[in-house]
Amino acid sequence: MLTESKKEFIEFMMSADVLRFGEFKTKSGRLSPYFVNTGNYRTGAQIAKLGKFYAACVKEAVGDNFTAMFGPAYKGIPLATAAAGALFNEYGIDKPYFFNRKEVKDHGEGGSLVGYQPQDGDNIIIIEDVITSGASVRESMPILKAAANVNVKDMFISVDRCEVGKEGVKTAVMEVREEFGINVHAIITVRDIREYLAAHGTDPALLAAMDRYMEQYCRF
């Protein structure tokens, strides 16, 4: 169901040129009628507002029932930072955050993690942009488990594309849940985007392209 907050988030992404429509080739080689690029957020106002959307999603899903939030390099770094700040400002929830380096630092404090240092038994949530294949989770879990015996049960993303993998059976969200026991919470899904477009007099050709793409690749 397209709520007011979802509508606001879609319009926010469009205004920041993060959500675009046309024809885009994804990493999987599919030609998609829409594309999400969170790398286009570039102002203080945008990152502050984005943090509020993530904070609301975290608050609704898990409240303050977690130890720290992890933002995988690179796009997850500003997302986790913004979410942590907004959680405190909006809800008074003060939680640590951390992220990884792509290359381990061999001087100074050293190590591959920056910020909070996980401890055994911690409940960690992951903050990311989108999930397409689940590759980010598969890269993040060894990093987290190498740091400490942590629990990771929840992940938060901007958009769930709801797309199946190469086998054409399960979506990345389904695979992540089955493989790692992680529940993925999305601020919006591709179905929300389609519903928004239909409600705002979008070009019928784009709606038809969305329908074809969703019918071929998406599972709900």
Q: What is the pLDDT of residue 13?
A: 98
Active-site residue, from 25, 105, 145, 200? 105
Active-site residue, from 107, 145, 166, 200? 107
Q: What is the pLDDT of residue 108?
A: 46
Contact by Cβ (8 Å): 90, 119: no
Residues of the chain where predicted confidence (pLDDT) is lower than 50: 107-108, 110
105 noted as active-site residue? yes
Q: What is the pLDDT of residue 156?
A: 97
Q: What is the pLDDT of residue 107?
A: 46
Q: Which structure tokens are listed for 53? A: 């959307």
Domain extents for the chain?
Answer: 4-217
CATH fold label, 4-217: Rossmann fold (3.40.50)
Contact by Cβ (8 Å): 63, 29: no
The full length of the chain comes to 220
Q: What is the pLDDT of residue 111?
A: 64
